[in-house]
A = this chain, B = another copy of it.
Amino acid sequence: MYFEALDNLISELSTLPGIGKRSAMRIALFLARAEPFRTESLSRALLTLQEKIRFCDVCGSLAEDHLCTVCRDPRRNRDLLCVVEEPGDVLAIERTAEFSGLYHVLMGALSPLDGIGPEDLRLSELIERMGSGHFQEVFLATNPNLEGDATAHYVQQLLAPYQVRVTRLQHGIPTGSMLEFADSNTLAHSIRARHNL
């Protein structure tokens, strides 16, 4: 008993983060039994995402236009730049309402084992912004794990030529965990207690 359509969907689902072969199969069988409109609306939501969501030309976070709402907002503090790994990290920090500056999304973290080097991150864009902007502080909010710490260290060295204060998230978040999953209170504390590097 082999079903190409089922097998195909299982393979597609297995490539998503946190979904193994077993969960992919469970989801595929669930959808095979579900009302057609459910599969259609999921399918539509996927295509709409691709169509509607883009990345800010300046900071790289999620946007619905060339610039994101943060970069467009005249009330944001343009002396302060927060460097994060992923667009999801910007959403997490915005939820705390603790940060009033601008963002720079690296689109990943250094990870030699996964073949992710400095050239794969948005570092040249960062350097460009350092040249044109007038930042007083660059706050490194990469994840408090091995890759995030290595990335923060790398960015710190990259920023050495610039007259800028470099700060790092306070380790109030458990080491080895991910920013995206921290509760807002812990994350808020980490932002308030950020320290000089």
Chain A: interface residue total (CB-CB under 8 A) = 56
Interface centre among A1, A26, A30, A46 (most CB of B within 10 A): A46
Cα A197 to Cα B39 with chains together (Å): 40
A 36-50 to B, binary, CB cutoff 8 A, 1 in contact else 0: 101111110111111
Q: Is A127 an interface residue (CB 8 A)?
A: no
A-B contact pairs, 29 of them (CB 8 A): A1-B62, A1-B91, A3-B53, A4-B52, A5-B45, A5-B53, A6-B53, A6-B62, A8-B48, A9-B45, A9-B46, A9-B49, A16-B30, A17-B27, A19-B23, A25-B88, A25-B180, A29-B86, A29-B87, A31-B49, A32-B49, A33-B55, A33-B107, A36-B50, A39-B47, A39-B50, A43-B43, A43-B46, A43-B47
